Amino acid sequence: MSVAKVGAVVLDCPDPRELAGFYAGIVGGTVEGEGDWVDLKVPGGPTLAFQAAPGHVPPRWPAADHSQQFHLDLTVEDLDAAEKEVLALGAKPLDTEDRSRTFRVYADPAGHPFCLCAC
């Protein structure tokens, strides 16, 4: 028996509304709220929440001295098509060396790493 269930995954960032819009462009959903806390209600999944963090310093991937602390794995059917979409939304590629793998690593506009993973 579980003690709890996931209510939200929260990302610190400089601009909550902007980052919520970025992820809404990738996973869909509805952006709710203004100011220091914005939710992205994702159909069939937990809420992604974005919290203003003055002085936010993004993680560096891969760097042991600036740990990413967590990342999102986002499942897609077509890596090439999904890559075009996330780059158009403002993602930055972090790992372009091995294109034969079933995943690719990017940073969101606030610098958080995330992966597109082939299903």
Kindly report, residue by residue over 19-41, the tens digit of the pLDDT: 999 999 999 999 999 999 999 99
Is the domain of 82 the same as that of 26?
no
Q: Tell me how far apart the alpha carbons of residues 112 and 61 are, in angstroms, rounded to a whole number.
A: 9
Is the domain of 107 the same as that of 50?
no
Q: How confident is the model at residue 62, as a pLDDT? A: 75
Is the domain of 51 the same as that of 81?
no
Identity of the residue numbered 12: D
What percentage of the chain exceeds 70 in pLDDT? 93
Is the domain of 67 the same as that of 24?
no
> What is the arithmetic mean of pLDDT over 71-97?
90
Q: How confident is the model at residue 49, as a pLDDT? A: 93
Q: Which domain holds residue 25?
A: 1-55
CATH of the domain at 30: 3.10.180.10
Is the domain of 17 the same as that of 29?
yes
Is the domain of 119 the same as that of 62?
yes
Q: How confident is the model at residue 86, as a pLDDT? A: 95
Could you give the count of Cα atoms lying within 13 Å of 65 in the half-sphere of its Cβ?
0
Q: How many domains does the chain have?
A: 2
Q: Which residues contact 44 (CB under 8 A, 6 or more apart)?
A: none
